[in-house]
Structure 1
């Protein structure tokens, strides 16, 4: 059988019955953004060809803002063709901000009677309704989370504190 990783093909002999097992045997580390295909699906047969394309992070500029994304494109031409082919679909993209915030905060709901003090960027803001989800409390405080920021909730002297730690 053949195993191709990032364009380098080698012939391998294996007793593995699945693509995952073959990749483990061959010490091919596959991450979530990588592309793995097989001519025989998930199981292996004689003569199968397994292809792995490692993803890398690139950046596209949209309205003057850099947006990182993962791709397995092997050339700028291939990447541009992808964007051209998906241009109409991209116009339909919407972002569910509540879902994004829930992912960042773990869907954390404070559920405390009384106010919550938000501490972020060296400032403190008190939000009166502590029964809201953390995402809503952060919105009300005017705090925007970055993808690596951490949110911590604690009780100090009977007061609920929601602290944002910026991770750069």
Structure 2
């Protein structure tokens, strides 16, 4: 090489580049790829360490950031430097706070690092949510494996939250009467045993017999020690309402909550003899009662009906469900009153009725219509029939 050429080359190498570097310095550069949080860019840097290369690019890293290769590593041409910034993540797991610095880019990656990636876990944010360099706070509830026993049948379910959520997972409907152990608001724990006792209340109606009372009336017309039933007693009927409690289908208790009268009982009236005097005295006493006249509530064997209509009379009111019902006159039927039903006699009229077999006579008031059976002319109340023919259902009578 000629001295002229060599001198020219040396002069050229000693020239300063436009950037202030000599040509030798300008040519001494390495091509490096910087990957920062997954974003890559190439740049030419002076030889040196990773730390120096990052500084040339204005990339600052801290103690929680991950740099590969290490900051002290020497770079070379074609080098790839990876920087992943650390992020402060606060996760509240089942009420307990966990603080962690991580280079994870989204919530899903954080959950994997915490071994909490179970898809049944309930996370307060989306699992795909990106985490900025500012960090993130979120909460989660872990899924629990529990057993639910209902009416003796047990199943295992996975649920998040409370006992109420376990029943939802088990597809069991619970109402306010049911007994749950532990309570609905109890937080779930792995292996928890939950039981449900199904409680039902059912209303039942029952008809019960009400015994009749007995009323004793002293009667001087009867000898002492003798008795005579003038009104035959009839049991009443009450309708009772009961509430029964069932647990898992078995009745455990019941309680009567109300009662109403369906048919009132008819008191039995019994005459009790008190006469201790001789028969003649009794006859005199009887004559005085006859002279004073008989009332509609008494029967007499004196002054029977000797002319008028003769027919068969029946009775109603005793155990046939008519007691307490309406009559044709509009009044309520009372079997203990001395009344009768007739198809033709005026309502409100009074007649005397005699049993042709024994001569006993009773005065009754017509307040109803009937009977509607051929051959019968009157339907006597229970009290009226017992006054002239105790215990009989049909009797031949004469009335006027």
TM-score, L = length of structure 2: 0.20
Higher strand content, 1 or 2: 2
TM-score, L = length of structure 1: 0.45
Larger Rg: 2
Higher helix content, 1 or 2: 1
Question: Which structure's relative contact order is higher, taking Cα pairs within 8 Å and 6+ residues apart?
Answer: 1
